Amino acid sequence: MTERTISVVDARSLLRLFGPRDKHLRAIRQALGVRISARDGQIRISGDAQAVDQATQVLEHLQQELHRTGKLSAEQVAGAIAQAGSGESAEQAIEISVMQPGRIVRPMTPGQRRFVEAVRKHDIVFCVGPAGTGKTYLAVAMAVTSLKNSLVRKIVLVRPAVEAGESLGYLPGDMHAKINPYLRPLLDALREMMDYDQIRRYMDQDLIEVIPLAYMRGRTLNEAFIILDEAQNATVSQMKMFLTRMGRGAKMVISGDVTQTDLPSGRLSGLRDALDRLQGIPGIAQVRMHAEDIVRNPLVNQIVKAYETPPESQERVNASDGRGVPEQRGKGQEAT
Q: How do residues 231-289 score in pLDDT, each as one tens digit?
A: 999 999 999 999 999 999 999 999 999 988 888 888 899 999 999 999 989 999 999 99
Residue 153 pLDDT > 70, yes or no? yes
Residues above pLDDT 90, as percent of the chain: 35
CA atoms within 13 A on the CB side of 176: 1
Question: In the predicted model, what is the mean pLDDT of residues 56-78?
Answer: 81
The larger pLDDT score, comparing residue 151 to residue 336, is at: 151
| 329 Cβ contact partners less than 8 Å away, ≥ 6 residues apart | 335
Angle among Cα 244, 248, 252 to the nearest 5 degrees reads 55
Residue 150 pLDDT > 80, yes or no? yes
Helix, strand and coil content of the chain, in percent to the nearest 5, comes to 45, 15, 35
User: What pLDDT, on a 0 to 100 scale, did the predictor assign at position 323?
Assistant: 46
Residue 322 pLDDT > 50, yes or no? no
- Tell me if residue 39 falls in helix, strand or coil: strand
Q: At residue 40, what is the residue type?
A: D
Cβ neighbours, 10 Å, residue 157: 23
User: What pLDDT, on a 0 to 100 scale, did the predictor assign at position 231?
Assistant: 94
Residue 97 pLDDT > 80, yes or no? no
When pLDDT is cut at 50, 70 and 90, the band that residue 298 belongs to is low
196-216 tens-digit pLDDT: 899 999 999 999 998 889 889
Give the highest mean pLDDT range of 221-225, 305-309, 315-319. Answer: 221-225
Lowest mean pLDDT across 24-33, 92-101, 225-234: 92-101
